[in-house]
Amino acid sequence: KQYTALLPAAGIGSRMQASLPKQYLRLGEQTILETTAKVFLSHPAIKNLIIVLHPNDTWFYQLPLAKDGRINTVVGGDERADSVLAGLKAAKQDEWILVHDAARPCITQSDISKLISAVEQQQCGGILATQVRDTMKRGADGKIAQTVSREQLWHALTPQMFKVKQLKDNIQNALLTGTAITDEASAMEWANCPVSLVTGRSDNIKVTCPEDLALAKWFISQQQN
């Protein structure tokens, strides 16, 4: 069976303090976006990619990747959830989709396979996640208010895999009620649909700050998939 992947890449990456959006920064030979897209395009279970771009994006069509016939592009919105919605509207409604941050270039083929096989028989979909290792504190006014048990805490990663129509309806309705939707799973939670946690690799980082770029480069150099 083959699936579509959706890459939101319409952010401006203000925390990178770079002159161009972070997805267009280089990791060696190619940009972050190309690195991420190629992991999906070379996976046998991925048939096509929807890439969501900023309305003023002038970089994407300069990439050789733009000529790949398996890629569709759409224009995103102000928040990540708006960009994902725009992508979902361009997808086949009765299929599964894997939503993955363009800014997570260290994703591996094996983690994509692991997510698909764990989720394709589920009702509500699932996400890659890693268990929290540090002791977690809730803060108030710069002081510790409480230690929060880490036993049940996970870091939500991507890809996150859901049925297109179900995800689209839940994001739309959750946004209408003013719920914060920072990942796809939050929209499913809003609809009380239990999302599976699938343990992923901890090197699947999101490039957010300047120092993450060197880390991502090093992780990729160490991977054998």
Closer to ligand C5P by Cβ: residue 34 or 101:
101
- With tokens 């994509």, the residue in question is 112
β-sheet bridge partners, residue 96? 163
Phi, psi of 159 (to 5 degrees): -70, 155
Q: Cα(131)–Cα(200) distance, rounded to whole angstroms? A: 9
Burial letters for 45-65: b for 16+ Cβ neighbours within 10 Å, e otherwise?
bbebbbbbbbeebebbeeeeb
Tell me the closest approach of the beta carbon of residue 137 to ligand C5P, in angstroms: 23
Of 73-81, 106-114, 190-198, 212-220, which part binds ligand C5P (CB under 6 A)?
73-81
Residue at shortest CB range from ligand C5P: 11
72 counts as binding ligand C5P under rule CB under 6 A: no
> Whose Cβ is closer to ligand C5P: residue 23's or residue 186's?
23
83 binds ligand C5P (CB under 6 A): yes
Is 126 an interacting residue with respect to ligand C5P (CB under 6 A)?
no
Closest approach, Cβ 59 to ligand C5P, in A, equals 12
Strand 96-99 with 3-9, pairing: parallel
Residue 157 neighbours by CB distance under 10 Å:
25
Task: Report the residue number, 77 or 109, with the smaller CB distance to ligand C5P.
Answer: 77
Strands 71-75 and 143-148: unpaired
Cβ nearer to ligand C5P, comparing 48 with 83: 83
Q: Which whole-number Å values give the CA distances from 22 to 59, 113, 176, in the listed order?
A: 11, 26, 30
Instruction: Kindly state whether residue 206 participates in binding ligand C5P, applying the rule CB under 6 A.
Output: yes
Q: Whose Cβ is closer to ligand C5P: residue 206's or residue 217's?
A: 206
Residues at the interface with ligand C5P (CB under 6 A): 8-11, 23, 52, 76-80, 83, 101-103, 206, 208
